[in-house]
């Protein structure tokens, strides 16, 4: 060994190795330091816009249990059994009672007709095996589901509908939380929509009204969770209600007082605030997940990036801290940009602009003048290549929330306006010739700031939005299996 040390080439090789290791350590420290700085700047960017950056700030104040719809015993039991057994494939007693509302006699799920198409009455007589007249079938349906309907009816007497917090983003376990109870509520809402349809056939406007209001309360309960999945579930519940609601208005099964109750139920929200809060929560939550991921590379990468598989896991396990911080910073910058868009006065059509929901940094530059990054372009590009930054799963989430959220806002406006049209018909004996006659701000489509398309044909009214592309397609609706991507079609009921 001593002879080897005396060799000039060996000493130079050793010196070179020490220099190389030192240089790599310095480069790693420099990159990590710069990336951490970029993350801090992204946090400050979010703060400067008045947005939340701490997970604990998203917790909502809970109303007293006795005034909270979420705390009726059956819903408490539904959440409790979900916590005990999180596998959604395992049948659970309370959850099955909720799901049973939308199952046929063989246990298969019943799906509603696409918006605008009449419901096939054979669903009740053949698939659900209800017998007799529409009134008799309605009574049989209520008898079958008396326990769930009774519990929900009791809950309607409570003033608030606020779901207890499901997750604490400061803990990595939060990202594997089950949402099986939301699935069961979703299935129950389909059953309530079927009950609404059956009540309309039976001429029981009171029961149809009750079913719609319970569904809206379930939507209120679900949307109170703030998270993206909960919002999507809530908008789905509202979507289930629309066909029957419009059919009931057309069939004149409700009086003016009932229509006013429906209109108020669909007006009692601040949808933009909900959407902004959801994007804020999800962005901060994903940034926190990056921190968990930095410490535990075994966590799934699919929450943060689109790529999956062995190489994704290998990269995340070998990546420097800078890689995670750059991911986190990018998410926070996109969160800020999406929040600026939602908080702006732009028409909702802008939410469908691909350049605003694609998530690519350059495509977000036109949203607001605030600085995107503390890095100079050359250094940022170099670190970006080094860290192999890829499209984030957050891009898809932002797009889904903006697109479906805008659609839900248009749907709500359509419901409120339809109720006004129904009230006008009751008071005047005929439909208005133009929307101006019913008054109210709801005559304007939030998608483009222009009046909704309205006309009367064969004694019935047509009402719809021209959709994101701004082209009137005569009221053509999106295919039932394409919800979320109906750019080329109109939005109606």
Please state, in angstroms and rounded to a whole number, the distance separating the CA atoms of residues 322 and 38. Answer: 10
| pLDDT of 388 above 50 | no
Please state, in angstroms and rounded to a whole number, the distance separating the CA atoms of residues 162 and 60. Answer: 9
pLDDT score recorded for residue 378: 35
Helix, strand, coil percent values for the chain (each to nearest 5): 65, 5, 35
pLDDT band at 310 (very low <50, low <70, confident <90, very high): very low
pLDDT band at 82 (very low <50, low <70, confident <90, very high): confident
Q: What is the pLDDT of residues 206-244, one digit of tens each?
A: 999 999 999 999 999 999 988 888 999 999 999 989 989
pLDDT score recorded for residue 360: 42
| pLDDT of 376 above 50 | no
pLDDT score recorded for residue 63: 97
Share of the chain above pLDDT 70, in %: 75
| pLDDT of 153 above 50 | yes
pLDDT score recorded for residue 85: 64
When the pLDDT of each residue in the chain is averaged and rounded to a whole number, the result is 82
SS3 423: helix
Q: What is the pLDDT of residues 257-303, one digit of tens each?
A: 999 999 999 998 899 999 999 999 999 988 988 888 888 877 766 55
- Name which residue leads in pLDDT, 384 or 228: 228
How distant is the alpha carbon of residue 257 from its chain centre? Answer: 31
Share of the chain above pLDDT 90, in %: 52
pLDDT score recorded for residue 383: 36
Exposure of 1 in the CB half-sphere (CA atoms within 13 A): 0
| pLDDT of 386 above 80 | no
Please state, in angstroms and rounded to a whole number, the distance separating the CA atoms of residues 413 and 441. Answer: 9
Q: What average pLDDT score do residues 426-437 get?
A: 95
| pLDDT of 369 above 50 | no
Please state, in angstroms and rounded to a whole number, the distance separating the CA atoms of residues 446 and 170. Answer: 37
| pLDDT of 407 above 80 | yes
pLDDT band at 377 (very low <50, low <70, confident <90, very high): very low
pLDDT band at 380 (very low <50, low <70, confident <90, very high): very low
pLDDT score recorded for residue 389: 41
Q: b/e for 214-227, b at 16 or more Cβ within 10 A?
A: bbbbbbbbbbbbbb
- Name which residue leads in pLDDT, 105 or 213: 213
Q: What is the pLDDT of residues 157-170, one digit of tens each?
A: 999 999 988 766 66
Encoded tokens for 255: 């009086």
Burial tier of 317 (Cβ tally within 10 Å: 0-12, 13-18, 19+) = exposed
pLDDT score recorded for residue 268: 84
Encoded tokens for 285: 């939550």
> Are the beta carbons of 236 and 214 closer than 8 angstroms?
no
Encoded tokens for 80: 């409790």
pLDDT score recorded for residue 478: 54
Complete DSSP assignment for 141-154: HHHHTHHHHHHHHH
Q: What average pLDDT score do residues 418-429 get?
A: 96
- Name which residue leads in pLDDT, 300 or 124: 124
Please state, in angstroms and rounded to a whole number, the distance separating the CA atoms of residues 482 and 493. Answer: 15
Q: What average pLDDT score do residues 18-41 get?
A: 75
| pLDDT of 449 above 60 | yes
pLDDT score recorded for residue 484: 43
pLDDT band at 438 (very low <50, low <70, confident <90, very high): very high
- Name which residue leads in pLDDT, 172 or 485: 172
């Amino acid at each position: 060994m001593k002879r080897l040390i005396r060799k000039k080439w060996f000493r130079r090789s050793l010196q070179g190795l020490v220099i190389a290791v030192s240089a790599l350590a310095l480069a790693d420290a420099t990159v990590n330091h710069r990336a951490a700085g970029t993350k801090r700047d992204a946090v400050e960017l979010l703060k400067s816009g008045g947005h939340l950056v701490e997970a604990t700030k998203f917790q909502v104040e809970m109303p007293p249990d006795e005034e909270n719809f979420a705390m009726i015993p059956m819903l408490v039991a539904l959440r409790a059994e979900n916590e005990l057994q999180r596998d959604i494939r395992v049948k659970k007693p309370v959850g099955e009672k909720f799901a049973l509302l939308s199952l046929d006699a063989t246990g298969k799920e019943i799906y509603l007709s696409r918006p605008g198409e009449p419901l096939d009455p054979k669903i009740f007589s053949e698939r659900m095996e209800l017998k007799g007249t529409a009134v008799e079938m309605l009574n049989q349906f209520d008898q079958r589901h008396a326990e769930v309907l009774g519990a929900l009816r009791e809950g309607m007497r409570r003033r608030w509908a606020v779901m207890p917090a499901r997750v604490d983003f400061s803990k990595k376990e939060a990202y594997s939380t089950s949402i099986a109870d939301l699935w069961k509520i979703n299935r129950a809402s389909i059953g309530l929509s079927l009950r609404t349809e059956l009540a309309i056939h039976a001429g029981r406007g009171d029961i149809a009204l009750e079913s719609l209001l319970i569904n809206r309360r379930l939507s209120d309960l679900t949307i109170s969770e703030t998270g993206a999945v909960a919002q999507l579930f809530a908008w789905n519940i509202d979507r289930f209600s629309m066909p029957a609601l419009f059919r009931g208005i057309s069939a004149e099964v409700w009086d003016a007082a009932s229509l006013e109750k429906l209109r108020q139920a669909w007006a009692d929200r601040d949808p933009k605030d909900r959407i902004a809060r959801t994007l804020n929560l999800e962005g901060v939550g994903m940034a926190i997940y990056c921190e968990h991921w930095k410490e535990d590379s075994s966590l799934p990468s699919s929450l943060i990036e689109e790529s999956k598989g062995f190489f994704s896991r290998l990269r995340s396990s070998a990546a420097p801290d800078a890689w995670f911080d750059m991911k986190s910073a990018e998410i926070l910058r996109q969160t800020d940009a999406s929040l600026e868009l939602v908080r702006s006065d732009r028409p909702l059509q802008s939410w469908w602009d691909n350049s605003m929901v694609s998530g690519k940094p350059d495509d977000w530059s036109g949203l607001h003048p605030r600085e995107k990054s503390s890095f100079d372009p050359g250094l940022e590009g170099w670190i970006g290549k080094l860290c192999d930054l890829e499209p984030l799963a957050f891009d898809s989430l932002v797009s889904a929330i903006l697109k479906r959220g805008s659609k839900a806002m248009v749907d709500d406006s359509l419901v409120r306006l339809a109720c006004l049209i129904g009230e006008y018909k009751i008071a005047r004996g005929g439909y208005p010739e133009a929307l101006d006659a019913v008054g109210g701000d709801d005559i304007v489509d939030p998608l483009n700031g222009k009046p909704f398309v309205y006309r009367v044909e064969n004694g019935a009214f047509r009402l719809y939005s021209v959709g994101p592309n701004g082209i009137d397609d005569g009221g053509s609706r999106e295919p039932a299996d394409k919800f979320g991507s109906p750019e080329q079609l109109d939005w109606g009921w």
